[in-house]
Structure 1
Amino acid sequence: MPTENATATGGAPVTLFALHALGASAGSFDRLAERLDGRVRVEGIDLPGFGSAASMTDSSVAATVAHVVDHLAHRARGRWMLGGHSMGGKIAALVASRVLRGDAPLVGLAGMVLMAPSPPSPEPMSEERRERMLSWVAEGPLSDEDAETFLDQNTAERLDPAAHANAVADLRRTSPDAWRAWLDTGSRLDASAEVGTLDLPVLVLAGTDDDDLGASAQPGLLASVYPRARFVPLDDTGHLIPLERTAEAAAAIARFVDDEVLLGPSVPDDWAALIAGDRVDARVRGILNRRAVPDDRGYAPEVLDVAQLTLLREVADLVVPQDDAAIDVAARVDAQLARGEGDGWRSADLPPDPEAYRAGLDTLAAVWPTDPAEREDVLRAAIEGTTDARGALDAARLKIWLEDVRNDLVRQWLAHPASMARIGYDGFATGGTPIRGFVELRLGRREDWEPAGVGGTVTTGDSA
């Protein structure tokens, strides 16, 4: 029989919390968990009305989202991803949107893995098919015959005996009310406005033999929701990807994690708990969660050209030296420029920031050495106004511009919650209802709610 919560242990650097399809359970991810053991920890979650949660009576979308958020609040630590198969894809989108808005008490979402997902918009399904599936539970749970029909319609080839038996068992124990709730209401729900655009790493796996939610349909359904989505078609595959193509799915997930998820620093657990807690306003939590999303390795600059962004990254390496878990502060500055944001002022001797950046980088490029060992001296000369560079900015204006550049690069590094943890800054934790601040202001003392990394001795009993 399927397990309640499929879990692969082994010290993996990231956890995938997987939400199953209609009529399935957490156990549908057992084989995937085994394949990814040591690389990705997989933990399936039984949704209300299914698997071990079949007795739960409220299987509405709202109740299901709340159920998942509650599970994650108790289980999600460190760096983690949300997974969704079919029905679970829409639920995952709603949960992810709440995390990135800060409306859920969660920190650490680093990506998503979706398998033949139902989109935030109404799921494409013919009314004839919907009515036929509803008829299967008109008089109670699905019969063996109807379960067999469902599997035949959703797989390219018959599953192996063990997988087939588990899938039938999951279908047979599914709550008829939950089955009806999804087909009547959940699949029709248009959650596009609530979900919006989710800017984070996303892997979308879909079979070429899946009619409604297959490889040819998914880009049209999801490209506007997930601008960073990586769409991977699976040949000769139907709808039940975790059971039909376990090895191929595991390989794609492992590559995706290495390429896009395990980038940049993660937020230490005690700081994540602080951000998730009631001292931090939802809006602030959302901002910090979005800043903690891994950078896009394939980021396409919006204000600078590729050569200018490359040079800015090399300047950033000198201004803000980082270890292997680096934040792409240069790309974040380009995105800041594209949004028209800044620190609120600029020198009267410089053009607007986008123009100044392009002019400054082009001027610096004329003297920028290919040998990394020589770059520090060149940058120092430009900072001090003694450079030989000639271009759109003279030496005096290049010096002024580099003051802005250093400020922007450092601000982008400091804005990341992992950087705040590193320097011991927790001044963002002064919200909540009622608003709370600091009581202990003496040097070398910290309050009992502050992470140990802040330093100093603890004062208890009088914290705000």
Structure 2
Amino acid sequence: MTDDPVLFCLHFLGGSAREWRPLAAHLGPAARCVAIDLPGFGDAADQPGADVGAMADHVAARIRAERPGGPWLVAGNSMGAKVALALARRHEDGEEGLSGLAGLVLLAGSPPAPEPMAEERRQAMIAWIDADPETRRREAEAFVAANVGAPLDPEDHARTVEDVLRANPEAWKAWLTGGANEDWRARIGTLATPALVVSGAEDGDLGPEAQAALTLPHLARHRHVVARGAGHLLPLERPGALAALIRDFIAAPPGTGETPTLPPAFAALMGSERVNTRLRTALRERMREPDGPFCLAPEERATLAACLDRVLPQPGPGKIDLARRIDARLASGTGDGWRYAALPPDPQAYARALRSLDAAAAETHGRLFRDLAGHDQDALLDRAAAGRLPATPDGLAPELMTCWLEELRGEAVRTYLAHPAGLAAIGFTGIGAGGDDAEALPGYRLTGLDAREAWETPILETPILETSASTGDVR
């Protein structure tokens, strides 16, 4: 992308263009924000409610009127994200006036599928929007408070409540009964437009597992970031952090399928009452990509990633970044509490072992380990496991490579299975063994061979992890 793109910003249900002021201030000259009031909201509250297609028409007209000369992006929070996805499809289909779209920023986004909202809550939201002024204000206050991970700045809170109150009730109801339930999965398909997806760890309906299950499968190029402690109104809760993420995204768009998706059935289980709150919080935290500190040099991390791809292959377009997670663990000084006495401390052992692999690859093939074909990498790992790599001055002794590789296997599996996507890949349903009221939700009643509970059957239909091509086993 070139410098100074235009960022068109679409708000959440009940929000307005004012939602984006803090983010625009933090972005500064990195991007020019053009915030748009969707039909029925903000300064467009005099307009009737619209479906997703009509809202996309409204935004497309504004984009054409702005006529951005360079690349432009669309940011959407919640409701606005579904409209952004529809615009991206129209851009990729070659619609006139929409060329130049360079990226999507989807914040706690409504997915192409119908939103996973409890019908009882939907009806309650529909009921109070037409209530008397006192009830509406009380419910609007509660609505804003329930959608953030921590209280907003008083001024931001008051302004957001006022936006909810000035929303056209017909537009509010049109979204809850129509737009939120529209199924755009077939129409959206898989988008090639790069996307930054951000979810709040404290978001109930559209949190990390919903994004990984319902939005990421439609994005061929994406990065998914989980915002710790945040809820649903991310532009108001985390404007500074979002600005930094957007600047990085503009500078370096993601490659193909950078973060893993979740099967919808597993995401539904994870969000259900069968999983207790403490466990769900831990699982969501494990979906968050570590943001440092790290201890390995970039070339060492690249060699570790190549090694892990052979030790524990991950099928599918998105995968867990095991190397990044292990590197963060090394920097933190935590671990499983033991190591081989002959090995140096973990950070040193990893760095030296990775240098040994690169040195052996250079000696044998004239290239670094990460640049070799898979079968050549497998051959070197087999030699390392047997203690037959050549000695190198700044590497591990050949006999210690055997110990290190055993440690790496265990760490790879532990790291993989700590992530919800890893649990889903092996069809693990144990997270649903009981909710906050364990007595009311016993884990398993059926214990016979091949017997499945009704609630776990779809979870177990997910594919099992592929094994190493060279050994027929997880290394």
Equivalences for residues 376-455 of structure 1 within 5 A: none
Give the Cα separation in 2 of the matches to 1:162 and 1:188: 32
The letter of the residue matching 1:122 is: P
**What secondary structure is seen at the aligned counterpart in 2 of 1:163?**
helix
1:176-205 CA deviation, whole Å, 9 max, x = no partner? 000000000110000111111111210001
Aligned position for 2:197: 204
Please say if residues 12 and 41 of structure 1, whose CA atoms lie closer than 8 Å, have aligned partners that are also in contact. Answer: no
Cα distance between partner residues in 2 of 1:154 and 1:369: 56
Which 5+ residue runs of structure 1 have no aligned equivalent?
Answer: 1-10, 262-305, 307-367, 371-464
Identity %: 42
Q: Which residue does 1:435 correspond to in 2?
A: none
State the partner residue of 2:137: 144
- What's 2:12 paired with? 21
Give the one of 141, 146, 150 matched to 1:157. 150
Query: Once the two structures are superposed, what CA deviation does each residue of 1:241-280 show, in whole Å capped at 9, x if it has no partner?
Result: 011111111111111111118xxxxxxxxxxxxxxxxxxx
Cα offset for 1:85?
Answer: 0.5
Deviation at 1:170, TM superposition (A): 0.6
Q: Does 1:34 align with 2:34?
A: no
Superposed displacement of residue 104, structure 1: 4.2
Q: 1:223 aligns with which of 216, 231, 255?
A: 216
Q: Give the equivalent residue in structure 1 for 2:94.
A: 102
Query: CA offset at residue 107 of structure 1?
Result: 1.2
Query: Alpha carbon RMSD of aligned pairs, Å?
Result: 2.2
Query: Relative to structure 1, is the Cα distance of residues 140 and 110 closer, same or farther in structure 2, using a 3 angstrom cutoff?
Result: farther
1:130 equivalent among 103, 117, 122: 122
Answer whether contact 1:12 1:37 (CA < 8 A) is retained. no
CA separation of 1:159 and 1:113: change in aligned 2, threshold 3 A = same
Q: How far apart, in 1, do the equivalents of 2:188 and 2:132 lie?
A: 34
Aligned-partner residue type, residue 246 of structure 1: P
* Residue of structure 1 in register with 2:271 after alignment: none
How many residues matched?
256
Q: CA deviation at 1:369?
A: 11
Which secondary structure does the structure 1 equivalent of 2:7 belong to?
A: strand
1:35-434 to 2 correspondences below 5 Å? 35-77=26-68, 78-139=70-131, 143-260=136-253
CA distance in 2, matches of 1:139, 1:217: 31
**Equivalent pair of 1:140/1:176 in contact (CA under 8 Å):** no
In the alignment, the residues of structure 2 paired with residue 163 and residue 76 of structure 1 have an alpha-carbon distance, to the nearest angstrom, of 31
Does the 8 Å contact 2:6/2:31 carry over to 1?
yes
Q: Contact 2:45–2:166 (CA<8 Å) still a contact in 1?
A: yes
Deviations 1:134-173 (A, max 9, x none): 1112347772111101012111111111111110111010
Render the CA deviation track for 1:20-76: whole Å, top value 9, x for unaligned: 100001110011001001112111111000001111124222221110111111114
Answer yes or no: is the 8 Å Cα contact 1:17–1:81 preserved in 2. Answer: yes
1:285-318 residue CA offsets vs partner (Å, 9 max, x unmatched) = xxxxxxxxxxxxxxxxxxxxx9xxxxxxxxxxxx
1:12 to partner: Cα distance: 5.5
Alignment check: 8 A CA contact 2:8 2:35 kept: yes
Structure 1 CA distance for aligned equivalents of residues 12 and 118 of structure 2: 18
What SS does structure 1 have at the residue aligned with 2:208?
coil
* Distance in 2 separating the partners of 1:28 and 1:140: 25
Normalising by structure 2, what TM-score?
0.52
2:328 maps to none
Alpha-carbon separation, structure 2, partners of 1:16 and 1:89: 13
Letter paired with 1:83: A
The CA distance in 2 between the partners of 1:213 and 1:164, in whole Å, is 21
CA distance in structure 1 between the aligned counterparts of 2:252 and 2:244, rounded to whole angstroms: 12
Distance apart, 1:216 and its partner CA: 2.5
Letter of the 1:22 partner, please give it.
Answer: L
Kindly indicate whether the alpha-carbon contact (under 8 Å) linking 2:49 and 2:175 is maintained by their aligned counterparts in 1: no
Supply the AA of the counterpart residue of 2:57.
A
Decide whether aligned partners of structure 1 residues 219 and 95 sit closer, same or farther in structure 2, where only a CA change above 3 A counts: same
